[in-house]
Amino acid sequence: MMISRRAKIGKNVQIGHYTVIEEGVEIGNNVEIGNHVVITEGTIIGDHVVIKESSILGQLPTSNKNMSKKPSEKINGLKIGNHVTIGSNSVLYHGSTISNGVLIGDLASVRECVKIGENSIVGRNVIVENDTVIGKNVTIQTSSYVTAQMIVEDNVFIGPCFSSSNDKYMGEGNDSLQGPILRSGSKIGNNASLLPGVTIGQKAVVGAGAVVTKDVQAHDTVVGNPANSI
């Protein structure tokens, strides 16, 4: 272990082998941290948190010259609430808030400036891009892709392999990125695709494999490519 003397570590904290904890990290009580974990400066972790092997907490964004979004220089620390579980080989960025009771699966990644509400599930191999807001009691199943600037309200269910996008000009760089909006209680089937900026209404259902090109009304069900009401 390589634990900074300036990290604040609570009571009854177990730390695995070869784990690196930088200075300025704050860890609550009754926390289990696996082997080969990295926790960087500015990460704040609550009580009763489980952090599995080889996960990386508090990564900073990068870019290259072809990326429209340049990382902000003022990204705040990563905040992890109580009773959170973080899976193995996951990568979480600074500036995000993971609320109490959240479960993040193995091999998942949550980018900067994301908010995830209480008791939500971010499945195995799921990617949540920057600046997205996810409500409470949301389920995002395995290998789904949640794009940037997306809004996912409370009690939404997203099946596996969901795909979303936020750039209708596909890289032409006019900066008007807008992810889809999933209103509360909506349900999305596996491998459905949402185009940039579409809104899925309250308690609406999107069928598996549907390609949603326009807004879906509350309580409606759509299927097909392009998706239409059934």
Among 49, 75, 161, 182, interactor with its own copies by CB under 8 A: 161
Q: Which is nearer to its own copies, 20 or 218 (CB)?
A: 20
**By CB under 8 A, which span of 5-13, 23-31, 74-82, 165-173 interacts with its own copies?**
165-173
Non-local (6+) Cβ contacts of 194 within 8 A are 162, 163, 164, 165, 180, 188, 200, 206, 212
Least distance (Å) from its own copies to the CB of residue 44?
19
Under rule CB under 8 A, residue 36 binds its own copies: yes
Under rule CB under 8 A, residue 95 binds its own copies: no
Under rule CB under 8 A, residue 183 binds its own copies: no
Cα distances from 81 to residues 49, 63, 134, in angstroms, run 8, 28, 15
CA distance 9 to 52: 17
Under rule CB under 8 A, residue 121 binds its own copies: yes
User: What sign does the CA torsion over 23, 28, 29, 33 have?
Assistant: negative
The residue count for the chain? 230
Contacts (CB under 8 A) with its own copies, residues 50-69: 50, 52-54, 56, 59, 62-67
Contact 203, 221 (CB under 8 A): no
Closest by Cα among 99, 67, 70, 62 to 83 = 99
Least distance (Å) from its own copies to the CB of residue 223?
7
For the chain, the C-alpha Rg in angstroms (whole number) is 18
Under rule CB under 8 A, residue 176 binds its own copies: no
Least distance (Å) from its own copies to the CB of residue 12?
18
Least distance (Å) from its own copies to the CB of residue 52?
7
Least distance (Å) from its own copies to the CB of residue 16?
7
Closest by Cα among 158, 105, 151 to 131 = 151
**By CB under 8 A, which span of 5-13, 23-31, 47-55, 70-78 interacts with its own copies?**
47-55
Contact 57, 92 (CB under 8 A): yes
Contacts (CB under 8 A) with its own copies, residues 123-152: 124-125, 127, 129, 137, 139, 141-143, 145, 147
